[in-house]
Structure 1
Amino acid sequence: MASWIFTIKGEHPEHWGYAADSGFWDIVNRKDVKAGDDIFFWQGKGSLVSWTVASDDAIDIVDSMPPAQWNDRPYVRRIPIDIVSEEPIVDISWTDLAENTGITAKPLNGQIRVPTDAEEYLRALFKPESEDSATAAGYPDTRTKISALIHRRRGQQRFRQSLLDAYDRTCAVTGSRVEDVLEAAHIRPYRGSHSHRVSNGILLRSDIHTLFDLNLLTVDEQHVVRLHPDLLDSEYGQYDGLPLRLPKSRAARPAKDNLRVHNCECSWFH
């Protein structure tokens, strides 16, 4: 496996946020990036911003793929990514980075291959995700820690803002537009910043979010709301069988694979 530094133009600092939310990066050439390759992102006029891993081989972009949020250049290949860390432990200049890695290319080159003997050096520049990185082999069940989840929801501001925009500031289940009670629900449990993809989230009113985290409410692969049988006669029963209010952008809609995982965690759901 190889390692790369991908550079982001200084005038487009928002592009890293787009990549973190969508879970992919597009390039304008045919660099042969493979699944498992480390990709370190460098922000032009700044420093390193993230360490990611290619979750699949780079593939040619076709019309049927979800559109990207960037459109400044004619992109030809797409690389799915998982985030390892967004916490560099130092702000390092390109001059110092080049000196310590042996890289001779300029940051304007876009995608730069990292010498093999410099890979560990680059990894050491990042603080890994703490409690969640140890479970990177899958999405562990963390829903018994509901109080902790509720406490940190509002700390995930970029994820919440992305969902507010995608869902037109409306709860996907109830239709509530009271923004102060709208929260960003993870479909697969949160296990670090790389869980913050719009397709792994639903904008929910706070009480609906809690039911979702407790596996008392789920959304099937046809985007229909399903409720635990014990709640059908409660005030929440009115939502059972209703279609989820979906974002206009198909790329922002809940991914079926993510919904399937949540459905499986609901022992009552068949």
Structure 2
Amino acid sequence: MAAADDPPKAWLMLAVGADRQHGGNDGYDDDPDVHYSWDHTVPNARTVAVGDRIVLWDKEAVIGASVIEEIETGHAEKILYRCPRCNGANIKRRKRESPPFRCFPCSDTFPIASTRVERVETFRSRHDANWVDLGRCLDGQTLRSLCVSPKSQLSMRPLRWDAFAEALRSVGRARGAAFLDEATPWVQSRPGGHRQARVRVRVGQGGFRERLLATLGPVCAFTGPGPAAALEAAHLYSYAAVGQHHDDGGLLLRRDVHRLFDQGDIAVDPHTLTISLRDELLRYPGYAPLHGQPLATKLDRGQVAWIEKHWRQHRPDAC
């Protein structure tokens, strides 16, 4: 385990989806600004940790960067493709050449790979709260040069963070690096880490958000009016537990506020309907002024009931 005063690790991670293959598998379900997925067959799988900084790219340019807030772990059945000659997993499906498969260890090429189903340990990061969209400001060649091993071909490779931050400054993106430098100690101070999780798909989430926009308008309940594109439909209850959308159980929240609300770092006092911040948030000037303020959205009776349950869950000592 790293010492408390060790600098956090940083990673260059290849996204997205079927373009990212390892061990001859069918790819991963990445959503770059929200989560990144991998399994135990990927090098560095168990080395990546909460509090590490990550930079996502697509081989051509940088997509964005963030700090890992949480890593969900589980298990899944996965189809793996193998070389029929040496049974190696380091094969690649080629798009423009025939035969389509090539094995790198033995250099054999073949039209059909051997397959087998294997149970794998899965990992999924959550990093949306501190996501910084970098607008493809650095190209792939530059990013490779900033890695600890510039010639590495790994999908998750160690990155020299200071060199990356300097590269951002050289293209006028210094604020992005500074924001993540500030966010990292906050994430590392949070309790938690790897956890087991089974994620329920939020069927109908888009319609739920549209109904809230139609009813409430483009207003973050905590920070006030804002562009609709910046607002998310936040459940005032655990969707994973309830399994359905309740129109009186939702509010529109800005993405960062939504994440902090889900964690209980921001809550609503049901007695005064004013915003309550945990002490750790009060040192951040972007959030501190919210403490003690009334909501920007008028709540109906059903929403107040859900708010009260959220308060009891995250502020039991104040009940």
- TM class by shorter-chain length? 0.3 to 0.5
Larger Rg: 2
Q: Greater strand percent: which structure?
A: 2
